[in-house]
Amino acid sequence: MLSQFHDPIVAIATASGRGAVGIVRVSGKGLGPFVQALLGKVLKAREATYLPFFDGQGQPIDHGLALWFPGPHSYTGEDVLELQGHGGPVVMQLLMARCLAVAQGTGFAGLRPARAGEFTERAFLNDKLDLAQAEAVADLIDASTEAAARSASRSLAGAFSQRIHGLRDALVNLRMLVEATLDFPEEEIDFLKKADAEGQLDRLHAALTAVQGEAKQGALLRDGLRVVIAGQPNAGKSSLLNALAGAELAIVTPIAGTTRDVVQQTIQIEGVPLHVIDTAGLRESPDVDEVEKIGIERAWGQIEKADAVLFLRDLTRSAQTDYQQGDAAIAAALPAGLSILSIWNKWDRCSPETWAALADQREPGDLVLSAKSGEGLEALRKRLLELAGWQPSGDGVFMARERHMQALARVQTHLGSAKDLLKAQAEHLDLLAEELRLAQHALGEITGEFSADDLLGEIFSRFCIGK
């Protein structure tokens, strides 16, 4: 991946399609002669210049702005040229082709189209951003809610990285104490006790736990929660999806088996994205045709992948023996360990006495609502946030990814082992030092201090072209 790192690169940096403005971006080292050959003049650094963009025959392709950022004071840390013209796809392609043609005659024959994410990759490799900040660039672009955008912006500004660096500095200081004890075993002074190594390790572990909690909130803002609505036919699953989404997304009829396939909609509650999935009614009956069977199989497949399941039950049929048996069969088949919220629907068609009569069938945490009238929906939204583990914390949340959570979990494991080894100081100090080293390595993976090339390739390949 790094073999082409020194090639100059060019790309259309704006989204495909038509727009008011389009941008062609070029990055590389020593681009001054190329810029002068392309535009016919020397540009002032970081100052917009209005001028025509000519083709090979001296005819203008477009008129627009040129911006020149000499390295290292640029996004990538290299020389960067941006051409801002009218945002038609043909105009942008002509400008990019002109850049490639001029490069052939000015000693920049290595100029090539950029790969996805390569501009940000170079910013990382040139120490303009660490890896967590680079990932935040993509998270900011992909943010689906205002809260997610704000959190990604905080990560891009370095909030998450600063917390990781704080943990690393405390860990490095502890490693120094352990290494000193290993290097000078004959000294009468016990370095570890005098420096309160055990207390330092406890404080480090507490700080790590706090960062994990904040990172979990950030990961939730980025990835959201997969919520599957499940239950027997005609329990009101599609009506509940429509009510939560505030739109008629799913067809609703009194005919059993109307929903044959998966219908999904992403909603947000207090800025947290929830991917709500409506599924086919779950039942075993000789009346089930082949198409409905496939829908039921897909429903169970969605349940297996869910973070939480809304088990929807019909109040109007709650006294029917066959309906009770159907609900019991579904409850028994739901995966163990899955977050399940039992909901009784069609409250608008029942009396308080009906609800009271269900005392032996319902649990204390069950909810009652009407997907049709909307009564009880607000209580459901609050419970969904509780299921997600969301804890409102103002603007202090930073964006995080699953790989960050896994790295922090490894740090926690190594610190736990280190704490056990510290109690047997003289016997296992070498093992203690190794556990602390591994913990620091795991922290370094988050910011990119220790990262394999294949990991970098996987991360940056998910960016858009031109970023």
11 is in an annotated binding site: no
**85, 22 contact by CB (below 8 A):** yes
Give 375-384's long-range contacts (Cβ < 8 A, gap of 24+): 375/347, 375/348, 376/347, 377/243, 377/244, 380/244, 380/310, 380/343, 381/244, 381/269, 383/341, 384/225, 384/227, 384/269, 384/274, 384/308, 384/341
- Portion of the chain with pLDDT greater than 90, in percent: 40
Q: Is 258 annotated as a binding residue?
A: yes
User: Which of 67-81, 304-318, 442-456 is the most confident on average?
Assistant: 67-81
pLDDT band at residue 26 under the 50/70/90 scheme: very high
Q: Is 235 annotated as a binding residue?
A: yes
Residue 238 annotated in ligand binding: yes
Give the pLDDT mean for 403-428: 86
Sorted by where each begins, the domain ranges of the chain are 2-129, 137-220+401-448, 224-388
Give the model's pLDDT for residue 406.
Answer: 93
More confident residue, 262 or 147: 147
Distance CA 376, CA 367 (A): 8
Sheet strands side by side (includes 225-231): 263-269, 272-278, 225-231, 308-314, 339-345, 367-368
Looking at domain 137-220+401-448, does it have CATH number 2.30.42.10?
Answer: no
CATH class, 224-388 region:
alpha beta
Is 378 labeled as ligand-binding? no
Q: Using DSSP, how many helices (H) and how many strands (E) does the chain show?
A: 16, 12
Regarding pTM above 0.85, the answer is no
Domain 2-129 has CATH 3.10.20.740: no
255 annotated to a ligand binding site = yes
> Annotation-wise, does 256 bind a ligand?
yes
The first and second tokens of residue 75, run together, are 């996004």
Residue 466 assigned ligand-binding role: no
Q: Is 222 annotated as a binding residue?
A: no
**Two structure tokens written together for 292:** 């409905």
* DSSP structure class, residue 30: S
| CA angle at 336 for the pair 335 and 337, rounded to the nearest 5° | 115
Query: Is 128 annotated in some ligand binding site?
Result: yes
290 annotated among ligand-binding-site residues: no
The per-residue pLDDT for 432 is 87
- What whole-number distance in Å separates Cα of residue 398 and Cα of residue 392? 12
Q: Is 64 annotated as a binding residue?
A: no
Annotated ligand binding at 259? The verdict is: yes
Q: What are the residues facing 227 on neighbouring strands?
A: 276, 308
Instruction: Output the CA torsion sign for 398, 401, 404, 410.
Output: positive
Look-up of token digits 């917009």:
48
Phi, psi of 86 (to 5 degrees): -70, 140
pLDDT band at residue 188 under the 50/70/90 scheme: very low
**N residues, the chain:** 467
Q: Is 237 annotated as a binding residue?
A: yes
